Chains A and B, each alone.
Chain A
């Protein structure tokens, strides 16, 4: 608990020392020391306090740069040609420039989450007061803010405490962003260290945002049995007025639900959402519905279902107002970060705003008051719905066929498509009345609309694709478990040991956006694979939605098949983007609750623990945004590897280990101080996989940790080998690097593996109590 900006003024003070007049004492920050846990070495770390840790990580996982651009055009010296690692006019070389751009992305991401948290906390403090208590799980969650405790060294108890932490985060982002200015940082690894700082800051910002909203809005509090809610386009009732909410900041959507409740209109209007506002509104009310991930915006708007769009912040299409206009649906912008050129009507009477929207006098309005948004949205939707009668701009099939006949096969659409979809061929077939190729494209389309923006004939190609997939789209009706928030302490106690020893083969977190190479079903397939294998599978954000958008032969979606508890074989939806720290938090809590390590301001030790012991992997198969970049960076600093899909290569820098360099994989055995070979576990820290098959093999491999006991390593190896054999048709060629003792070998594969080990000249080696930190060695005298 802290208090900031304590300002004490004393007009006159008489004491034994004498009389003091006009005494004024200002203190920036007061730390309440009622918390008995010893404070660690790095509370509120500056941008260099954890640099040594970063360099250890970056020595193991060296950056591999793939410049997206050979030039730098950030100052008026430029453009500078940096190709072949040349230096620009400012002296910066290509490597540093790439890291600099990564840092910019991470700062944008961290700023976005932190500003979201700031927005929420300020608004909630105004509504509930600074002393409003935080509660993310009652007595089930005593370590209520693992990331915050770890980074800042404080235990937030009230909304006011969050305000103090935000000050720190904002300062850090400011420093980090300033480092990207021309003539500041000049070394690529120092840029990378700052990327990791941005990621760490981002994790705290997200944790604050989710703590605030869970505490104040009554979201599920660490509840494994959070309700199952409707998911998919087909879940929306086309006979009802429909309000569509898009974005990440939930208060305006809550304003809508509250107004509906107050007026007894629940059930008469459908409220549905896309992206993280959708997650969070279903955490508030299970009556709300999730249409799908961010990429579904165009297809859903053009279908004509929404009678009004309410957009808040982040991941909203910049052309949402234009798209809404096309279907004659008004739009309300509700965030100061996304005003869309609309007039600010916050202070106008509701009747006037509704009248202007319903009559079409204005296409949209800006309203920066969530409660007012609620009333305006509901009343407008009810009046607009009968007028527009679900007016859509998806063409009829006969029109589509006629237009398709006129396609001149210029290939512009295909060359603009991020996934190189063969649209021209599909157009030829469509011209002949066969829509099956367009329908197939619907399944893999990421919904960007670039195909039609480049069409020289201005054909509405994306709408054609949606039309071809319309039947399937209307059948999309699934269930998703509402975001549960934190992981309970008791769950951590139950799984801590089997995770640390490897007997639960891994914690696999599917997170991030929907820029998939071949549709969202690949995410669902991967999740099914690892849930069946009894890994702990965690989801958040748009990936959590994609995870639910399949059904088995019994008509059940994965969230209906697998329990929501944090245990082997569980499928745990923590919630929206800002819920991601519950995943990192679970790893941190293993160190705290199971291993009894101090968290408080003790980042390096805990990251070392997590990196060497907790077999966790993040998969951001459709990672698209700068926020995804900063989220990943937060996991990297904890030593948790992240796999991205092929589009993730566009983040232009990987962090790759080299298993062929034995010297990179030595750790200290903390029992003896000996430096011992720990094996390439995990082999990479940031890695783009080409296909889902490659990703699945790599997930299993990256779950291995030096600390695995022999039973755990045998279990992990059996999954790795099994997946490798299935997808690659061969045994992996690196088994000898992961077998430390014969007892590590899965019993059913013993003969085959022993033969391989013999061929490789393998020798038994010790299983260390691993650490990268010399100070963690217990027998100092033996330390080399």
Chain B
């Protein structure tokens, strides 16, 4: 478990993400949040955590935590293939750009978001987007759930193995009240 950037050259600036090692932190953040969102990239379909696809963990987390999902790139199709309908679709650049706008009405018309989870994006792309949000999004808190430490997030799961990530998600889903 390490909180050095996964791609080693992607060193952070003066402000670095806090390592997220306990699922309880997610619970606490969600409890405080008035309007969270889960931003999901296309790699959720490619990544397999010891026999269970990342997308299936994401669906379980979203259901248990009642977190709305925005699927980026073409990943929405995989949610629909799994008959999971409560998912919005938007290119990640548009999502990120809007998250810096305090006037944005949000995907549900309820106003801007105060907590954004990220998972399943190419590491370097997520790194840059989190940098943009860190510097320009005001009060937004960000959490990276990939298991590859993202220094520009507010909180990030450190570099852990796929087995450890699976265990983290299973514990998180249970604590959120899911199965």
Contact = CB atoms under 8 A, between A and B. Distances in A.
Describe A's contact surface by its main secondary structure.
Answer: mixed
A663 interface: no
A690 B120 CA distance: 11
Contact of B97 (A656, A729, A730): A656
Interface string B1-37: 0000011110011110000000000000000000000
Contacts of A82: 135
B122 A690 contact: yes
Contacts of B97: 64, 654, 656, 658
Contact of A698 (B77, B91, B121): B91
A284 interface: no
Nearest to B79: A729
B125 A728 contact: no
B119 interface: no
A344 interface: no
Contact of A81 (B14, B73, B98): B14
Interface string B161-177: 00000000000000000
Contact of B132 (A64, A693, A698, A729): A64
B76 interface: yes
A420 interface: yes
Given A64-B93, A690-B72, A728-B76, A70 B12 contact: yes
B129 interface: yes
Contacts of B96: 64, 66
A646 interface: yes
A650 interface: yes
B121 A690 contact: yes
A727 to B, nearest CB: 4
B153 interface: no
Interface string A716-729: 00000000000111
Interface residues of B, number: 40
B89 to A, nearest CB: 6
A677 to B, nearest CB: 19
Nearest to A419: B122
A81 B13 contact: yes
A95 to B, nearest CB: 8
Given A70-B15, A83-B13, A649-B125, A727 B77 contact: yes
B50 interface: no
Q: For chain A, which range describes its interface: under 10, 10 to 19, 20 to 34, or 35 or more residues?
A: 35 or more
A650 B128 contact: yes
Interface in A685-729: 687-691, 693-694, 697-698, 727-729
A35 interface: no
Nearest to A450: B9
A98 to B, nearest CB: 9
B172 to A, nearest CB: 24
A698 B94 CA distance: 12
A699 B70 CA distance: 21
Contacts of A85: 135-136
27 contacts: A65-B132, A66-B128, A66-B131, A67-B132, A69-B13, A83-B13, A83-B14, A83-B135, A84-B135, A94-B136, A415-B6, A415-B8, A420-B123, A646-B125, A650-B128, A654-B97, A656-B94, A684-B93, A690-B41, A690-B42, A690-B91, A690-B121, A690-B125, A694-B73, A729-B77, A730-B77, A733-B89
Given A94-B136, A690-B72, A733-B89, 9 more contacts: A64-B97, A66-B132, A84-B134, A416-B8, A656-B94, A694-B91, A727-B77, A729-B76, A730-B80
A67 B121 CA distance: 18
A753 interface: no
Interface in B134-151: 134-136
A729 B73 CA distance: 12
Contacts of B77: 727-730
A449 interface: no
B59 to A, nearest CB: 16
B135 A94 contact: yes
B73 A689 contact: yes
A388 B13 CA distance: 49
Interface string A633-653: 000000000000011011010
Contacts of B128: 66, 68, 649-650, 652
Contacts of B124: 418, 646-647, 649-650
Given A70-B12, A729-B77, A83 B129 contact: no
A81 B134 CA distance: 13
Nearest to A683: B94
